[in-house]
Amino acid sequence: MTTVKIPDGHGNTLTLLEVDGHYYPNSSADVIRGIRDVTIRNDDVLICAYPKCGTHWLWEIIRLLLVGNTDGEIREKDELHLEFVANDVIEKFPSPRILNTHVQFHQLPQTVQEKKCKIIFLARNPKDVAVSFYHHHKNLPMYYHYHGTWDHYLPLFLEGKVDFGSWFTYMKNWEKEMKNHPELPFLTVMFEDLKEDSLSGIKKMADFLGVKRSEQFYHAVSERTSFGQMQATKGRLLKEHGGTSIVYRKGAVGDWKNHFTVGQSEMFDQLYREQMNGCNFSFRYSTTDSVP
Ligand code: A3P
């Protein structure tokens, strides 16, 4: 394990942890290496997503669906985030556990394949992911020590010099593995679909989880997990210097248009075409939308 400082070519560095050739945020190498040995249970639900695709949102929806009650205490997904929580803590956690991780398929706990727990794969328009990740890196200076501008940062994202590596590699690998494992129960959820019609998304997830609740309850989950509600309740837990929430920042589709220049957008599109050629993921709010 090494702490590395990735230079952006403009005098700034992004501080990451390197474990066995992969980049991670500030955690423990033992915890990261221990992920493979987590004992999966049949009734675990596993959320897999590249960072900043909305894991906090999905975790809360699934938690409420499983608990069947929207008035309980405030809980955070980080209590079951595989990269941060030691195995002995995860092992003691009562079922049902909603595990979540940003690692690649081949880095998942080995018993996933044997137990065939339900896996929800979450994806988001990569331009919005890049913007959200930029703010994440800037707003957590105590971990990342990153002080560059958006222009300085974008190449780091495109080259995969960020925690969990390249978005392109991550997506291509996941698509391949989901195809290679038809025996495993996967559900793919797109951030943009959930944003446009959260009620339908919530019902689809309930179906996948084998949970049956009242129509009224699904409405309550949708309301309770709206961006405004989550920002007001859970957003209080982790705030940046100015007092605004770090995780619950904007929660919008298309915020990339407020950050990318026309040139950056075209360059991104070109790279997307080269890298994702043959990939079947389609993003409703296409990467080729023009910058206003
Ligand atoms: P932005 O930075 O674009 O606002 P993750 O949970 O994977 O860290 O992703 C965080 C992103 O999901 C942030 O995006 C955050 O605002 C957004 N998000 C969190 N809760 C949300 C919600 N209830 N509705 C919409 N977006 C949400």
Tell how far the Cα of 11 is from the centroid of ligand 1, in angstroms. 29
For residue 91, pLDDT over 50 is answered with yes
Concerning whether 152 is annotated as a catalytic residue, the answer is no
Phi, psi of 89 (to 5 degrees): -75, -45
Quote the mean pLDDT of the chain: 93
Give the percent of the chain with pLDDT over 90.
86
Q: Give the predicted TM-score (pTM) of the model.
A: 0.96
Q: Is residue 282 part of a domain?
A: no
Q: Is residue 290 part of a domain?
A: no
Q: What is the pLDDT of residue 234?
A: 77
What is the C-alpha separation between 58 and 218, in angstroms, rounded? 14
99-150 tens-digit pLDDT: 999 999 999 999 999 999 999 999 999 999 999 999 999 999 999 999 999 9
Q: Is residue 186 part of a domain?
A: yes
Which of 56, 102, 136, 137 is catalytic? The answer is 102
Q: Is residue 11 part of a domain?
A: yes
Tell how far the Cα of 186 is from the centroid of ligand 1, in angstroms. 22
197-211 tens-digit pLDDT: 999 999 999 999 999
Q: What is the pLDDT of residue 291?
A: 46
Q: Is residue 247 part of a domain?
A: yes
Handedness of CA 52, 171, 119, 114 (dihedral sign): negative
Q: What is the pLDDT of residue 87?
A: 96
**Range of weakest confidence among 21-30, 85-94, 127-136, 244-253:** 244-253
* Pure H helices in the chain: 29-34, 55-67, 87-92, 112-115, 126-139, 141-144, 150-158, 167-180, 191-196, 198-209, 215-224, 227-233, 262-276
Give the percent of the chain with pLDDT over 70.
93
Q: What is the pLDDT of residue 246?
A: 84
Q: Which among 1-10, 35-44, 274-283 has the top mean pLDDT? A: 35-44
Mean pLDDT of 260-274: 94
- Ligand 1, atom 18: closest residue by C-alpha: 251
The two three-digit tokens of residue 149, written as one number? 């501008």
Q: What is the pLDDT of residue 243?
A: 62
What is the C-alpha separation between 12 and 18, in angstroms, rounded? 18
Q: What is the pLDDT of residue 84?
A: 97
Q: Per 3-state DSSP, what percentage of the chain is helix, strand, and coil (rounded to 5)?
A: 45, 15, 40
Domain that holds residue 106: 2-275
Split into its structural domains, the chain has a count of 1
Q: Is residue 283 part of a domain?
A: no
Q: Is residue 284 part of a domain?
A: no
Domain at 147, CATH number: 3.40.50.300
Ligand 1 proximity of 96 Cβ (cutoff 6 Å): no
What is the C-alpha separation between 150 and 142, in angstroms, rounded? 19
Q: Is residue 266 part of a domain?
A: yes
